[in-house]
Structure 1
Amino acid sequence: MLRLKPAFLIAALAGLLVVAPATTAATPDSPTVSATGTGYAEVAPDIAVLRFGVTSRQPNVAAARDEVAAGVGRLLELARSFGIADEHISTAALNVRPDTSWNPETRTQEHRGFIVSRQLSFKLTDISRLGELTERALGLGVTEASPAAFDTSRREALEAEALAAAARDARARATTIATALDAKVGKPLSLSAVGGFAPPQPMLRATMAEADGMGGAETYEPGLIRVEAGVNATFELED
């Protein structure tokens, strides 16, 4: 049975065509067997990206801008108190638009003032403080908060693990087919890989009854990150 070296396997799984040397390659009429394998790897996330927004409605732009600037300043101070480095903090440009409302009596849009908003994002590398940071940010008067986006610093390693598992599964499936036909699986002729990275959505750790006695920060618990991969493989079929 042919054993592929790890480096060679990863290169093949990245989508390269692997063909046996010309002296031993199968002829066009040689029987082959093809199969698709699947594999996955899971890990708890160690990175969370949180996004918040601060919005103000005021009669004039200056007043709205000042209120937003104060809110953004409080969030930046909070992030730094959690040890989040400046390179892990991103702030978008101000968004300014008119604040209007429809008057059904005059059937016209009436100008009420201006809406000013700004978005921020933090990259948190201490997942254990996710709930605390989120709850404290909400307490500072943010007007928008998106679910945390989770990631892992081991993404490349997990992708490799998933691809390797998918390759083994493809060979196992091909072997099942070949065995049913009283044949054996030979050398791999080609390998092509497809896969994806599936980050989880945040979920509550406790049941409703348990959550009654817990603070908001204690109910944040991310799921596992699963990396899935598929491998299409074709092998020589031996008698």
Structure 2
Amino acid sequence: MRTTLSIVALLILSSAVLAQGELRTITVNGTGSSSVAPDRASVQMSIIARSATVAAAQEAAATVTAKVLEMTSTLGIDRDRVDTTGSSVRPDYRWNRETEEQELRGYIAQRQMRVDVRDLDKLGALVEGAVEAGVNQVSPPQLDSSKRRDAYREALDAAAKDAQANAAQLAQSLGAKLGDVLQISTLSQPNPPAPMMRMAMAESMESSAPETYNAANLNFDATITAVFELVE
């Protein structure tokens, strides 16, 4: 009886190994893309103040910061959308060629701020207002969308359909039929926010109208790899 059970188990195991060995697969890639209009932006600013003392440099930087906060409030930007992301103070040295030594000229206070904008029509006024308030550096606005995740999923869906179409075409060329998908993996990540390019003034340089910005669509790309079974 024990011998009979052993033979049956061996036959079942052999059949499973044989079936697994006969499994034919095909591996393909698929790509997809989607686009969405931006509806938000982030603006990075740097405030740099120099003075003879630490206190004076910090006070000068704080004055510009207060002006920026007042300006953003006037534009209707919520206070919780304006953050101070960094603050530092360092000595300001210069090299004296005569004494061949470094001389302390004073101190530099620096602050970094980030403003998140939910109304892109306010970007021009925000950038110009920041410069007028005394901000030293304003980075190009970074575009983004509240529908970023949905747009990337649309790109993934298109990539999956592309992979299936590629696999079906190859299977047909090989005289086989496409079976179930056995494995799928992504080879891409959602695109980061894109910088916004500045447009020319809507009117002449003497105009007091704020600059406008080109809010081009954001593009999202996805690439996947899929393994399909080939059947007779």
Q: Same fold (TM over 0.5)?
A: yes
Unaligned runs of 5+ in 2: 1-18
Q: State how many pairs are aligned.
A: 212
Q: 1:203 & 1:160 partners in 2: Cα distance? A: 26
Aligned with 1:160 (options 153, 163, 186): 153
Q: 1:64 & 1:146 partners in 2: Cα distance? A: 23
Q: What's the Cα RMSD here?
A: 2.1
TM-score by length of 1: 0.81
Aligned with 2:181 (options 165, 188, 206): 188
Q: 1:170 & 1:232 partners in 2: Cα distance? A: 7
Q: What corresponds to 1:222 in structure 2? A: 215
Q: Are 1:197 and 1:226, in contact at CA under 8 Å, matched by a contact in 2?
A: no
Alignment of 1:17-96 (within 5 A): 27-96=20-89
One-letter code of the match for 2:227? T
- The structure number with the bigger radius of gyration is 2
Unaligned runs of 5+ in 1: 1-25
Q: 2:231 & 2:86 partners in 1: Cα distance? A: 64
Q: 1:34 & 1:228 partners in 2: Cα distance? A: 20
Aligned with 2:127 (options 115, 118, 134): 134
Q: 2:179 & 2:86 partners in 1: Cα distance? A: 59
Q: Kindly state the Cα deviation for residue 63 of structure 1 after the two structures are TM-superposed.
A: 1.4
Q: Are 1:43 and 1:224, in contact at CA under 8 Å, matched by a contact in 2?
A: yes
Q: 1:118 & 1:205 partners in 2: Cα distance? A: 28
Alignment of 1:224-239 (within 5 A): 224-239=217-232
Q: Are 1:36 and 1:232, in contact at CA under 8 Å, matched by a contact in 2?
A: yes
Q: What corresponds to 1:202 in structure 2? A: 196
Q: 1:205 & 1:181 partners in 2: Cα distance? A: 53
Q: Kindly state the Cα deviation for residue 155 of structure 1 after the two structures are TM-superposed.
A: 1.5
Q: 1:217 & 1:196 partners in 2: Cα distance? A: 36
- Does residue 125 in structure 1 map to residue 121 in structure 2? no
Secondary structure of 1:71's aligned partner: helix
